[in-house]
Amino acid sequence: MTRRQEITRARRWVVKIGSALLTNDGKGLNYAGISHWAEQMAQLRQRGIELVLVSSGAVAAGMTRLGWRERPTEIHRLQAAAAVGQMGLIQTYEAEFARFDLQTAQVLLDHDDLSSRERYLNARSTLTTLLELGVVPVVNENDTVVTDEIRFGDNDTLGALVANLVDADVLVILTDQDGMYSADPRSNPDATLISEVAAADKTLDAMAGDGGSLGRGGMITKVRAARVAARSGADTLIVGGRQDSVLTRLADGDNLGTYLWADQQPQAARKRWIAGHLQTRGTLVLDDGAVKVLTEKGKSLLPVGVKAARGEFTRGELVVCVDSSGREVARGLINYHAFEAAKIIGQPSAHIGELLGYRGDEELIHRDNLVVTI
């Protein structure tokens, strides 16, 4: 089994569709393409694969709606076009997925949302809840509040951050070339398609070029995205979206596009990140029962098992869990602010609604966000 056969086992995919593919020469949306990808995604859903779609194309759709022939250069006009076009984009996806009885949801994010711990947890729980409900989230950059992506034409990074966010097994980047070549095939007709390579391979940088001057992200943003996706263990595929049945053929393990593999396992990567990269903001003292279920059974931490909470933490921040002798046993991202934790510790989760006035997560720290450190 070659490495790319791994994709036949992938249960959660992030599919990013780029502007180059979604638009007809940068003007208007490629409706036939969208229809074909939606049909394939519906087939993947039937095979039990969960999907998050990251779609560009708002600016192009907005230009058509506003009757603009030339892509504006002023950032605020691009932002206005994106705001108008996002309506058309989402309407098109909604109609196309509805043909297969699939619900869609619009999710607009920016990079700051994903670097703030609290917003990160909120975005993560919304997206995972949508997936549990069988909905296909359609994500785009929130172009009203940020400008880098429309300026540089890069939604690839967003795709990778979303892959990290939902712990995807694979990030599929659909683009206008059949994959990544040894050099830009537009200017190098002899360039050859790369089939499989480690995302971390440094030789890729020179082959991807610098993205050119047309405000297009090009291949370099895709290679970087593959490295970001690899941080949470997701493999990346860069593949030509115009090929017939491209998504279902990928799921069958067909040899299409370029497969950039991650060199670490998803869970290990995420836990390493939690353990190593964040500052701790507080301490929870656990009772013996909680220490046991965390360390021996790999369970989530419930408020009932916590005897004391110290520190000024907010939702999403890193806290240390210690046993009654003060020895660290675990650390993780907490679901509640310090003042809320103070009210619910020692209490059964069923009482959270009554104690706080709203029903949040039943765990103080979910096991996905927890690392045992002994």
Ligand X SMILES: N[C@@H](CCC(=O)OP(=O)(O)O)C(=O)O
Work out which of 96, 149, 323, 363 binds ligand X, going by CB under 6 A.
149
Distances in Å between the alpha carbon of 232 and those of 10, 168, 316, 362?
A: 14, 8, 18, 25
Q: What angle do CA 196, 200, 205 make, to 5 degrees?
A: 85
175 touches which of ligand X, ligand ADP, none (CB within 5 to 8 A by kind)? Answer: ligand ADP
- Cα distance between residue 261 and residue 4, in whole Å: 8
Select the span of 28-36, 72-80, 157-165, 175-183 touching ligand ADP (CB under 6 A): 175-183
- Cα–Cα distance, 335 to 321 (Å, whole number): 14
Residue 139 contacts which entry, ligand X, ligand ADP, none (Cβ below 5-8 A, type-dependent)? none
Q: Is 116 annotated as a binding residue?
A: no
57 belongs to the binding site for ligand ADP (CB under 6 A): no
Residue 150 within binding range of ligand X, rule CB under 6 A: yes
User: What six digits make up the tokens of 64?
Assistant: 């058509």
The annotation status of 122 as a binding-site residue, yes or no, is no
Asked if 229 is part of the footprint of ligand ADP (rule: CB under 6 A), the reply reads no
Please identify, among the stretches 34-42, 101-109, 139-147, 299-307, the one whose residues bind ligand X according to the rule CB under 6 A.
139-147
Task: At 172, list the tokens.
Answer: 């599929």
The piece of 44-52, 138-146, 176-184, 234-242 that touches ligand X (CB under 6 A) is 138-146
Bridge partners for 286 per DSSP: 306
The interface with ligand X within residues 177-216 (CB under 6 A) comprises 216
- The residue from 96, 110, 113, 156 that contacts ligand X (CB under 6 A) is 156
Query: Annotated binding residue at 143?
Result: yes
64 binding ligand X? (CB under 6 A): no
Q: Which of 82, 74, 157 is nearest to 113 (CA)?
A: 157
Among 29, 41, 52, 59, binds ligand X (CB under 6 A): 59
Tell me how far apart the alpha carbons of residues 240 and 246 are, in angstroms, rounded to a whole number.
8
218 interacts with ligand ADP by CB under 6 A: yes
Please say whether the beta carbons of 282 and 338 come within 8 A.
yes
Q: Which stretch binds ligand ADP (CB under 6 A): 163-171, 202-210, 289-297, 303-311?
A: 202-210
Q: Which one, of 296, 293, 276, lies nearest residue 364 by Cα?
A: 293
Q: Which of 7, 14, 15, 18 binds ligand ADP (CB under 6 A)?
A: 18
The residue among 301, 21, 278 whose CA lies nearest residue 153 is 21
Residue labelled with tokens 């979604």: 22
Pair 182, 194: CB distance under 8 Å: yes
286-300 b/e (C-beta count within 10 Å ≥ 16 → b): beeebbebbbeeebb
236 is an interface residue for ligand X by CB under 6 A: no
Lookup: tokens for 99 = 């043909």
Q: Which of 153, 233, 257, 266 binds ligand ADP (CB under 6 A)?
A: 153
Q: Which does 140 bind (CB under 5 to 8 A by kind): ligand ADP, ligand X, none?
A: ligand X
Q: Which residue in 38, 41, 61, 208 binds ligand ADP (CB under 6 A)?
A: 208
| Non-local CB neighbours of 261 within 8 Å, separated by 6+ positions | 3, 4, 6, 196, 197, 198, 199, 230, 235
Whether the Cβ atoms of residue 41 and residue 247 lie closer than 8 Å to each other: yes
Length of the chain: 374
Q: Which residues are annotated as a binding site for ATP?
A: 16, 175-176
Q: Which residues are annotated as a binding site for substrate?
A: 56, 143, 155
Q: Which residues are annotated as a binding site?
A: 16, 56, 143, 155, 175-176
Query: Which residues make up the interface to ligand ADP (CB under 6 A)?
Result: 18-21, 153, 156, 175-177, 180-181, 183-186, 207-209, 216-219
Query: Which residues make up the interface to ligand X (CB under 6 A)?
Result: 18-19, 56-59, 82, 140-141, 143, 149-150, 153-156, 216-217
